[in-house]
Amino acid sequence: MTAVLFLTGYMACTTDPYLGDNTSDPTDPNNPGGGGGDTTTVTTDPNACPEGTISFQKEVLPLLVSGCAVSGCHNAASHKEGVILETYAQVKSRVKAGNATSSKLYRVLSQGGGDRMPPPPYDAFTAEQKDLIKNWINQGAENTDCNPACNPANFGFAADILPIIKNSCNGCHSGTSPQGSVNLTDYNHIKGYVDNGSLLGAIQRQAGFNPMPPTGGPLSDCRIEQIRKWVDAGAPNN
């Protein structure tokens, strides 16, 4: 297994809203919220997404670039069938604001069999990922750039770590022919890159590792912190 991890994706966000440490004492009836571990309390983020609002730049675009704008498909170099999905303007041209079911982008993501996008051998978008695209379109398909909530104290594999990798990496690193022969589809595959140090080396952009994601800037500090804490805890399959 190669020591250099090719986590391909796009993460425009550099600062998720950070939910800082909570020093409260659960034994104190006047301050029962924390204490005894890595618990947190919410701090104010002036750019936090309003409740229910989907961030195009922080959620939708990373997913589309990872899953669609890859080599041989819809990046600028390949522009398969003349379609490029690397910028807001390019994505916006493929949707009908306020009406996901009339939007070509959403329809092709929802197709099955050989007509689905992304095509085999790439993994299809999950129901949750398709719902994200649908809800963004139905909200007006705006170029929103707010920060989705991120709590660095939450670093369970299933609930926190795997979704980061699915949304930012699995567009290229899944299926029967993952790019660079790097497969990040499940715990057992991911754990191998934890054990050889390349997962953290790549996302933290350490010397000797190819920086990942390679375009759009690194994962946000909060996302990297979640992964680091999970690794430091022994990378449990929890």
Domain edges within the chain: 56-138, 157-232
- pLDDT per 10-residue tile (average), the chain, 238 residues: 42 40 38 38 70 92 82 79 91 97 95 82 87 98 90 95 86 74 90 94 90 71 93 98
What was the pLDDT predicted at 192? 94
CA distance 235 to 155: 10
- Angle at 200 (CA atoms; ends 153, 55), nearest 5 degrees: 55
* 121 alpha-carbon distance from chain centroid: 20
What was the pLDDT predicted at 217? 61
Produce one character per residue of 33-44: b if its CB has 16 or more CB atoms within 10 Å, e if not: ebeeeebbeeee
Confidence (pTM): 0.69
What was the pLDDT predicted at 74? 84
CA distance 9 to 66: 4
Half-sphere exposure for 142 (CA within 13 Å, toward CB): 9
What was the pLDDT predicted at 44? 61
| Residue corresponding to tokens 């819809």 | 74
